[in-house]
Amino acid sequence: MSDTMIQMAQRARRCAEEIKKHKEVQLVSHIDADGISSAAIIARSMERAGIEYEMLFVKQLDENIVRKLANENPELVIFTDLGSGQIEHINNYGLHAVVADHHRPQGDLEMHLNPHLFGANGSFEISGSGTAFLLAEQLGSNRDLADLAIVGCIGDMQYRKYGKLVSLNREILDNNPDIITAKTDISLFGKQTRPVYKMLQYSSDPYLPGLTGNEDACIEFLRKIGFRCAEDERWRRWIDLTEEEKIKVTSSLLQYSVKNGLSSYSVNRLVSECYILLQESEGTEMRDASEYATLLNATGRYMKADIGMAVCMGNRGEAYEDSKKLLGEHRKNLVDGLNFVREKGVTQLSNLQYFDAGSSIPETIVGIVAGMSHASNNRHLPIVAFADKEDGHKVSARGTQELVNKGLNLSEAISQVCQEIGGAGGGHDIAAGATVPFGKKEEFIERLNELIARQITGRT
């Protein structure tokens, strides 16, 4: 066990001791896959410890929500996958809280479990769900929840920097080989559940030129390489293929992608380390960490995080069926969003590129579309997306590890611009978001462009 893991476990023990003093707690978490899996880890731990809980999912934690919580005066609030950016408000309103988060902290409090406090980076070393899992391990016998910890960090794209899980995430993975395992495989979505041609047709990350969105082209591509799409009147899924067939399809797809101008970055990501949940049934979304995370993201993005959490809690009936319907809608919206960006294009400034989706892309998924679109646009500039929401412009920004290595920190840049012009934002160095007031979009993008220039050139 690494020194960082030992130190975090010690802090987690202190937090767990405080939690055990209470018979009832309020749980608050984020609505994405990392937040939903984090909430489920703690909720299942609470059930096993005999502690009652109320659940609240939020898109973004702000002063208003902290104030409302304080007015309700719960015995204890446990924040997962958020809270570290609102320590000042939590303290000011006298909220008795435990925070298990992985975003860059702004302040500190006694019961605060966050990798940044121990010298680790929450962008790729451990996620919110991983941090929640460390807390759960101190609350009782909860090692079986390690698979949800990995689902959350995959949903948070913590593998992006090295193409696989490392550091504290890796320790969780390697310490639980009977619960979750890693294998190198094609990285397209749907290996467990979709016919192979559908897996190609609905590939949005990466976007496959000529194949994504075109069913006939996908079937023809497979026919040309001698692949049988069906057998015994049943469509064949990736998990039905022999190893030889998998190698043939993968190598043919790599050759096709290079020939059709897919960026080297996207080509390299077609094969990656994948994570199999051994406690889940083969042929279901929950068997593959990436599919599971996408399923959870679909529920959260459409304000149905409670359905995703029910699946995490073991509901394989109505909640699972509802989550699959939401997932179908989610994948369609992503493809529509990618097509919108491809048709409208992006605007390039000196140090960033951006697009304004207005009301054409739901603000809950515009960040995902931005990340996927980045691969087919200028990888040398971070990408920023705008979408309309009720209280202002939703901003989602995505960078690359190469840019971060040069000094880019989107979280710091966006936070500073919001402090100057109004709004609220933050996140990670490689991915961040904000809400800015109506009428401030142009000023925001100009100031952000200037700040990113300073970060990358090192000027002050």
CA 199 from centre of chain: 20
Q: What pLDDT shows up at residue 427?
A: 83
Q: What pLDDT shows up at residue 459?
A: 56
CA distance 95 to 97: 6
Q: What pLDDT shows up at residue 364?
A: 85
Mean pLDDT by 10 residues, the chain (460 residues): 96 98 97 97 98 95 94 96 95 96 92 97 96 98 97 93 93 97 93 93 81 90 94 92 96 94 83 95 94 93 94 94 92 87 93 96 90 79 95 92 89 93 86 92 95 81
Q: What pLDDT shows up at residue 460?
A: 47
Strand ranges across the sheet with 353-356: 347-348, 353-356, 383-389, 392-398, 431-436, 424-427
Closest listed residue to residue 37, CA positions, set 266, 275, 202: 275
Q: What is the dihedral of CA 356, 362, 365, 369, to 10 degrees?
A: -40
Q: What is the pTM of this model?
A: 0.82
CA distance 79 to 195: 39
Q: What pLDDT shows up at residue 375?
A: 67
Q: Which helix (H) or strand (E) holds 113?
A: strand 112-113
CB 77 within 8 A of CB 65: no
Q: What pLDDT shows up at residue 453?
A: 94
Please provide residue 376's backbone torsions phi and psi, each rounded to the nearest 5 degrees: -105, 5
Strands 97-100 and 77-80: parallel
Q: What pLDDT shows up at residue 342?
A: 87
CA distance 240 to 429: 40
